[in-house]
Amino acid sequence: MTGPALTDVHREDAGAFTAAWGLELPGSFRQGAAVEYAAVGESVGLFDESYRGVIDFLGEGVAAMLDKVVSSPAPALENRVGQNSCILSAKGRLLGAFSLYRVSDEHFRAILAEPTRDILLESLRKYAFLSDIEVRDATSEFSVLALRGPRAASVLEAAGGSEAPAVFQVASVEPGEVSIDCVCAEASGGYELWVPAAELVGLWGVLRDLVADAGGQPVGWEAAEAWRIETGRASYGRDYDGDFFPVEVNEEHRLSYDKCYVGQEVVARMKTYGHANRKLFHLFSANDVELSEGVSVYSDSVEAGRIGTACHSFSHSRPLALAMIQRKFFNSNGLHLEGGEPVEIAELPGRGE
């Protein structure tokens, strides 16, 4: 099993490793997941997200090409500004969700939440080919590190940032002789750094020390997953795949209804006339029974849905999962697992950022 670029570095600090997408990732560091989770809420957490996909679009007319393909108004972006975006199939299904940034006039960059998938690259290149636009998987060239928590901005400034960027603004951090792009990708104030491969190990060490000085922690997979699931962020390939509509997986905030793009007519009709036949919910174990990915959820003897990703929720102090529930059971109070263990569902928090 392979790991991201910092795996060897993490072996010195990680208390345990776990697997996701076929990669070996630090499950937690020496202080444990509960301490790491608390650090994100109280001070600052440092996340190694070097597994995330980075896709570059380059060429004359790239903004016009993207405007026909992605859900967001790419030509409206100024240089070094970003927006929520996604790409749909012709039938309106969600093929990929990402943040889209205009790096320069003829250079855009998509940052995914998960590793780059071949099918996503193929879909993008199919449209780019007609416009002579280069679509390049830049994941091996740049890695994402993230700072999240109330002291994230102060750590960023201590690392060489003159001022923390506003939401979806690209700024520069200069921890040494190299300038590194940094973005604020969340309204809550989380910051992501696009780190060149040659600088990754050194910058991780610098940020780890600065985060420790601020009372924070490196954050492993267990605490990061709890934060993701609690905030209602679905994971492609685990909570959903290319057969789902954005509204079904809490990604409707990425859609524009004011322009034409691939799949737009379908999602516009759904907004105007239709409804979701299934939808992602939070699912809690009523008796603190562990929840497992792929397990079915029932109403009496009828399958009502299926569990996606699951975690121990530190904020709720009990097991929590994301579960896809069929429409007729949206308001059901009698859901249970196969063995009869009761579960409860709740609407996901909005994703309007």
d(CA 281, CA 324): 6
pLDDT of 47 reads: 97
For 250, 315, 351, the CA distances from 239, given in Å and listed in that order, are 11, 21, 16
pLDDT of 177 reads: 76
The CATH fold assigned to 54-137 is Alpha-Beta Plaits (3.30.70)
Give yes or no for a contact between 83 and 168, defined as CB atoms under 8 angstroms apart.
yes
pLDDT of 186 reads: 77
d(CA 50, CA 232): 22
pLDDT of 130 reads: 79
Structure tokens at 145: 């590190």
Q: Mean pLDDT per 10-residue run, the chain (353 residues)?
A: 78 89 92 96 96 97 97 97 97 97 98 95 91 94 96 94 88 87 83 95 96 98 97 95 96 95 95 89 94 96 97 96 98 94 94 56
pLDDT of 74 reads: 97
Give the global pTM: 0.94
Q: Look at residues 175, 218, 229, 226 and name the one whose alpha carbon lies nearest to residue 44.
A: 218
Strands of the sheet containing 142-148, edge to edge, are 170-173, 180-184, 191-196, 142-148, 45-48, 217-219
**Architecture label for domain 277-348:** Beta Barrel (2.40)
267 phi and psi angles, rounded to 5 deg: -70, -30
Structure tokens at 155: 């750590």
Output helix, strand, coil percentages for the chain, rounded to the nearest 5.
Answer: 25, 35, 40
d(CA 71, CA 219): 32
Domain ranges of the chain: 7-52+141-229, 54-137, 277-348
CA atoms within 13 A of residue 28's CA, in its CB half-sphere: 13
d(CA 57, CA 66): 9
The CATH fold assigned to 7-52+141-229 is Gyrase A; domain 2 (3.30.1360)
pLDDT of 353 reads: 52
pLDDT of 351 reads: 62
How many CB atoms sit inside 10 A of residue 85's CB?
Answer: 25
